[in-house]
Copies of this chain bind each other. A is one copy, B any other.
């Protein structure tokens, strides 16, 4: 986050507060109107501040949203890999379902996914802050399960990751259905049973996801 070190008005307390207020307003505005539709004036209005306060912190709308992405990056996937594949999968599915079922998060993720196909800066920020860490975390506990023999040695990692990540996010992001405990349980169970089926040549290489 761009640092502002005010000497003026209520520095000790407000140094965080003003920036945080703007960030919160920007997140809400982003969820409501989308990246393309979001206006800096509306963010300022919602934050109860002037536009100048925004441009004192970020040079542009894009830079601001890139910073916002890091805010979401903090809500991350549990570590896992401690010895229980079944538990790791369940924890992952639950974490993703909990995070993404928040309508604000859901809308922003959908919107930035679409926008990233158009905007290289956002795409890179989204990849490095969200997608790669998430994929890396899954990769780690899958690999450790292979090492323990809980999954076959010739596991097709790409396919397994598609199954794990894709199936988990699909319903939350693309259907209007409720995501409750029974859904988490059923999906986790299916993934756990299907993971050992992810075999194959498995030499497809990928970057993102």
Contacts and interface: CB of A to CB of B under 8 A. Distances in A.
Interface of A: 32-34, 36-37, 106-107, 110-111, 113-115, 117-118, 156, 158-159, 162-163, 165-167, 169-171, 173-178, 180, 182-183, 186-187, 189-190, 193-194, 197-198, 200-202, 204-209
Nearest to A201: B182
A165 B159 contact: no
Give the 5 A-B residue pairs with the shortest CB-CB distance, closest first.
Answer: A166-B170, A36-B36, A177-B206, A175-B209, A194-B194
B204 A177 contact: yes
A179 to B, nearest CB: 9
Contacts of A197: 190, 193-194
Nearest to A107: B117
Given A163-B167, A176-B208, A206-B177, A114 B110 contact: yes
Q: How many copies does the complex hold?
A: 2
- Contact residues of A: prevailing secondary structure: helix
Contact of A193 (B34, B107, B166, B194): B194
Given A165-B170, A197-B193, A207-B176, A115 B159 contact: no
A37 B118 CA distance: 11
A194 B197 CA distance: 8
A171 B156 CA distance: 14
B34 A115 contact: yes
Given A114-B110, A170-B169, A197-B190, A177 B159 contact: no
